[in-house]
Structure 1
Amino acid sequence: MENNNFPSYSIPYFLLKEVIKRSLEEDIGNGDLTSSLLIPRNEKAKAHIIVREEAVLSGLEVACQVFSYIDPSLHCVSFFMDGQKVEKNTPIIEISGNAQALLMGERVALNFLSHLCGIATLTHRFVEVLRESKTKILDTRKTLPGLRFLQKYAVLCGGGANHRYSLSDHILIKDNHLSLIRRKMGESWLEWLQEKLTIIRYRKPLVRIEIETKTLEELSCICTLSPDIIMLDNMELNQISEGMKIINHKALVEVSGRVNLEKLQAVARLGVDFVSLGLLTHSAPAIDISMDIH
């Protein structure tokens, strides 16, 4: 199978290890009472993890690391790579070794896989709509605390791209920033901001500057600041169209908010560069994945 979406970087192991540790401590508690009482300590078994619906894969190594953390002697083999698309009822991983260890790792491994494959699959649906377009799909920082590195990795597996990973990545002046600046500077807010941005560009010439705008009136003011990227937030199609005329190729354009699969193509046809979607990480449906022990 083709794998065009395999991410160009690996998941940071030190972060992954800590997340797995916390997840297993939460799930196992003081021990697997059922397995320890019913399954012999030295019992051996083989298990297959099976995707029960069509999906784009993400988190295969995460799942294997879960089992390895419990018992390093477990043997885990992935049949595919992250970013590949698989059909319904496809076995994707085989794990063999101690039966109690398999049972202890099952739920945490499946939780990671179901969530990450869900993000990758939803991202892929949006990316496929734009296959013939220059518009790129971006994620946002609307992620679960502590899981951002995994969720953004899953977006890459689905063919999307990452927006800011953290507040330190580039300057993004949002509505609340502008509200505070206006409150402090009054009618001279625009001149004050222009001066600040001039200083920032001199001191940090490689840092991108992006400004969010919610109205066309505000957009006209923002354009005078010459940002690298302008975000059109929660605008209707007719407003985006007018906004593109106002910007007139003087900045890259990102559209955010109120964009679903039905609206996506129409937005892309207006010539925007990016569409950022919080729903990729905060609302992706989990993929049905199970583990069968033989």
Structure 2
Amino acid sequence: MTAVLETAQIRPVVVAALAEDAPSGDVTSQVFVPADAVATADVVAREPGVMAGVEVLTVVFAEVDPQVRVVRHIDDGQEFAAGDVLATVSGPARAILRGERIALNLLQRLCGIATLTAAHVQAVAHTRARVVDTRKTTPGLRVLERHAVRCGGGFNHRFSLSDAVMAKDNHLALTDDITAAIRAARAQIPHTMHLEVEVDRLDQVEAVLAGGVDTIMLDNFSLDDLRAGVELVGDRAVVEASGGVRLDTIGAIAETGVDVISVGALTHGVRALDLGLDVRISRD
């Protein structure tokens, strides 16, 4: 079951976005739309996808005007088809028009992430590999974007730099003895903290494993080297593949036997899904 995205996680993003979009109010609606006009609007899918962040609609319109009512017709993690009505919004017309773009901007991006993630998950469904995200998220939107990954059936990597030790090439650039460096790092962290180390060559694997890691990341390895790496590591650590993973390559990567495949493109290379708000305005 997909975890619920809480209002407290969404609201700071929405408040900042609304302030950016109309710092002095929506002047267009003020001069063209009567103050007493009411509207009903359908959030309609222009293409198929997977829902993520539907609660964003409620938070956006509640922030604009508590009189706006949002009825959701689909839950996070559910698939939808082109033409499906995903939610219905009703209330003061000016408020609906004020919140329209922010609501769609966020929902389109989150649904795009969920849909892209679902495609990657489906491509590895015949293997044991997990599809996970990375820290390549939009600044300020990480909690929302990572929720969208889960809606698409993926998993989350560490949330922040504070959550786990993850040594990459830049961290180890001045290290002559990788094994000793890893052991020293292990001695400094709590026993509950995960320790992962990236390698970019097969001949580094044994030295890293000797240090006592939980996960070893095989970065930008060929398929043959991934297979060799998986065999070499065995059950001594979790094996993660990373680097330039695409939808057309992830299946073959998963078939090498890796446990985890991290895909930065899930969040940094995503296309917003095409959703629209079809508005009908009337007078009270």
Indicate the RMSD between aligned Cα atoms, in angstroms: 1.4
Q: Distance in 1 between matches of 2:64 and 2:45?
A: 23
Q: What's the counterpart of residue 220 of structure 1?
A: 206
Change (3 A) 1:45 1:195: closer
Q: Deviations over 1:149-174 (max 9, x none)?
A: 00000000000000010111111111
Q: What's the counterpart of residue 153 of structure 1?
A: 147
Q: What's the counterpart of residue 259 of structure 1?
A: 245
Is 1:236 paired with 2:222? yes
Measure how far apart 1:133 and its partner are.
Answer: 1.7
Measure how far apart 1:117 and its partner are.
Answer: 0.3
Q: What's the counterpart of residue 171 of structure 2?
A: 177
Q: Deviations over 1:39-89 (max 9, x none)?
A: 111111111010100000111111221011000111100000011000011
- Number of aligned residues: 280
CA contact (8 A) 2:57 2:70 kept: no
Equivalent of 2:67 in 70, 73, 79:
73
Is 1:49 paired with 2:37? no
| Structure 2 unaligned blocks of 5 or more | none
1:79 partner letter: H
CA contact (8 A) 2:214 2:238 kept: yes
Equivalent of 2:184 in 193, 196, 199:
196
Q: What's the counterpart of residue 2 of structure 2?
A: 7
Equivalent of 1:290 in 264, 276, 282:
276
CA contact (8 A) 2:202 2:229 kept: yes
Is 1:85 paired with 2:79? yes
Measure how far apart 1:198 and its partner are.
Answer: 4.6
| Structure 1 unaligned blocks of 5 or more | 1-5
Matched position secondary structure for 2:44: strand
2:184 partner letter: K
Q: What's the counterpart of residue 3 of structure 1?
A: none
Measure how far apart 1:264 and its partner are.
Answer: 1.5
CA contact (8 A) 1:137 1:274 kept: yes
TM-score normalised to the size of structure 2?
A: 0.95
Q: Distance in 1 between matches of 2:162 and 2:269?
A: 25
Q: What's the counterpart of residue 25 of structure 1?
A: 19
2:187 partner letter: I
Measure how far apart 1:268 and its partner are.
Answer: 1.4
Measure how far apart 1:195 and its partner are.
Answer: 3.7
Q: Distance in 2 between matches of 1:211 and 1:190?
A: 10
Q: What's the counterpart of residue 209 of structure 1?
A: 195
Measure how far apart 1:191 and its partner are.
Answer: 5.0
Q: Distance in 2 between matches of 1:245 and 1:273?
A: 12
1:70 partner letter: V
Measure how far apart 1:197 and its partner are.
Answer: 3.8
Which structure dedicates a bigger proportion of its chain to helix?
1
Q: Distance in 1 between matches of 2:154 and 2:79?
A: 15
Q: What's the counterpart of residue 127 of structure 1?
A: 121
Q: Distance in 2 between matches of 1:125 and 1:239?
A: 25
Q: What's the counterpart of residue 273 of structure 1?
A: 259
2:133 partner letter: D
Q: Distance in 2 between matches of 1:39 and 1:102?
A: 11
